[in-house]
Amino acid sequence: MVTTLYLIRHGATAGDDVKRYKGSIDVPLSERGVEQINRSLNFIQEHSKKTVLHRQQNYLVDIHGGQTNGDGTLKAVYCSPLSRAVKSAEIIANHYGIRPIEVADLTERNFGSWEGMTYLEIKEKFPEEFSKWASNPLKYCPPGGESTIEVRDRVIKAIENIVNIHKVKGDNIAVVAHGGVNRIILCYFMGVPLENIFRIEQDHASVNIIEFWDRYPVIKLVNGVYY
């Protein structure tokens, strides 16, 4: 059985005209963000239908063996409990007649002293700390905030639990989270060292696709944007 995970970043939020480190601060989805998520939903619908039709002919069947299945519908939608992720997840889940499931460990990183500050403010008040963190986010972390290792530990435990629930039936599922959270998940399943998380872009409402085959996960799409 093949389980397909649509990993999505929430849409744009209120106040996005000024770049701030929002982290664990709860800010609402903007009207623009709603539009972005609706367009991402349209892509997911079309992609899932095409996947059902073509997966049996995929070379991965020969490599992994086993069966492919499913009717292309999402069986579950999980999300961070922050409202920007919950609202984004509700838009997707409502189309399939289900309710999103909130998972606390999918919350964005706590940026400590930097939360709510603009990029310029951080660079001015914490120039050395910001430079070190930007150059090596695994070794350094925002003052008073979570380290990348701490975020990784809770996020990977959560995503593994979610995937394992659906592997038996080979369900299509969605997870709506945040830029930092998604980067960690993608690094984990691609086997990329965490020092490189900023080499992976995650735009608002971007869609990533990971298929879980018998031998190993396969990344089908990274940072797909449809607006």
* DSSP labels, 171-199: -EEEEEE-HHHHHHHHHHHHT--GGGGGG
pLDDT tens by residue, 171-215 = 999 999 999 999 999 999 999 999 999 999 999 999 999 999 888
Choice between 176 and 51, residue whose per-residue pLDDT is larger = 176
Fold of 3-107+147-224: Rossmann fold (3.40.50)
Place of tokens 């623009």: 32
Contacts of 94 (CB under 8 A, 6+ apart): none
Task: Name which of 65, 68, 90 is nearest 79 in CA terms.
Answer: 90
pLDDT at 88: 98
Mean pLDDT score of the chain: 91
Main-chain phi, psi angles of 67, to 5 degrees: -115, 150
Cβ(174)–Cβ(95) under 8 Å?
Answer: no
Q: What are 9-50's pLDDT values in tens digits?
A: 999 999 888 888 899 999 999 999 999 999 999 999 999 887
Give the Cα separation of 12 and 74 in Å (integer). 23
Is pLDDT of 75 > 60? yes
Confidence category of residue 68, pLDDT binned at 50, 70, 90:
low
The helix (H) or strand (E) run that includes residue 204 is: none
pLDDT at 225 over 80: yes
Say how far apart CA 135 and CA 156 lie, in whole Å. Answer: 23
